Structure 1
């Protein structure tokens, strides 16, 4: 398998965590795509993902899979034991629900703020910006932090009592929030404690 990525971006980080959780890191060849210089918009990469986003998983038969949720689903099912995406219908539904909330209300909101309300990746790549929309998304990210703090006041992880794909997304979202200078509100102690606990997992700390 090959993973096309740019190390340091939040979505490639999500796939790296999933790979480590599944013990698959050593079975993957990582290929760097020079996102800051626009390599992800070149025809060769667009043939692998028409949306021009990293990461992309390429299988041995040439099949390419983009979108972190889809990649994680694939990785979670090729090792035999399902650990990240749920085993029962209820688990699967809950994990996917919370994963989407983490993606929309934290990770995507933070990245939209970065791309629209800051210089982002520079004028060559940020060809359209709406600062007002970016600021709105920043507030959405902060609201998301409050929401997840309430969730984590009642349970150990976002989708229940087991670490899952939803936690990976939220952890990556908070890491990008740090980069974008969106602080976790001081009153969100449960979220901060969860983050510190999750950061000790070998898939992240290693």
Structure 2
């Protein structure tokens, strides 16, 4: 298998999964700033020319970060971060769906309509007039997640999961693009500190490094 990775929160989800589980795959960096993902050889593999992308040994490909992680967790990771039982896996998927709807979608759309416009306006529908409201939606989503977290330690309670990786990747992304979480969200802040202390959070911070290489 080969993982095509790049800058961005979605590739970080997969890199952090690999760092957490120790799953090993060949990796190739794709320079999205130079539009390498939009070249014919890559876009033929990825339905939307997105990264990350996992190419299987038979040449078939899986796009989208969560789908890639679920595939690896089911085939290589022994349900390490989805859950050991059907009930645990369903809860992880429920939490990922909540994070995706409440935080990921409005945060990325708000970014594309504002700071990310120069990069995205030529190839995606961007909504500059709605950017401020989309950012407000993402901020409200983080407030709802703060309530879900309670005292934690993790989204699924005592079990660190792929839902935590998804949320952390986008909380960190938001902080880099003008959408930091409200400091008043103390549950979220404590959770963020706990995740940041995990070695996988450090190992996944630079997509141009191999897992375990010094940052």
TM-score, structure 1 as length reference: 0.90
Change over 3 Å in CA distance of 1:80–1:56 after alignment to 2? closer
Matched, 1:61 2:58: yes
Stretch of structure 1 that moved more, 124-133 or 66-75: 124-133
2:22 — aligned with what? 23
CA distance in structure 1 between the partners assigned to 2:120 and 2:43 by the alignment: 21
2:165 — aligned with what? 168
Instruction: Measure how far apart 1:66 and its partner are.
Output: 0.9
Contact 2:3 2:54 in 1 (8 A): yes
Instruction: Measure how far apart 1:37 and its partner are.
Output: 2.5
CA distance in structure 2 between the partners assigned to 1:176 and 1:80 by the alignment: 26
Instruction: Measure how far apart 1:124 and its partner are.
Output: 6.6
TM-score, structure 2 as length reference: 0.87
Contact 2:117 2:126 in 1 (8 A): no
1:1-206 matches, within 5 Å, as: 1-6=1-6, 8-24=7-23, 27-79=24-76, 81-122=78-119, 125=122, 128-206=125-203
SS of corresponding position for 1:31: strand
Stretch of structure 1 that moved more, 163-172 or 41-50: 41-50
- Please, what is the CA RMSD of the aligned residues? 1.8
Contact 2:113 2:131 in 1 (8 A): yes
Stretches of 4+ moved more than 3 A in 1? 119-128
Q: 5+ residue gaps in structure 1?
A: none
- Cα deviation, 1:81-107, whole Å, max 9, x if unaligned, reads 322112222211111111111122222
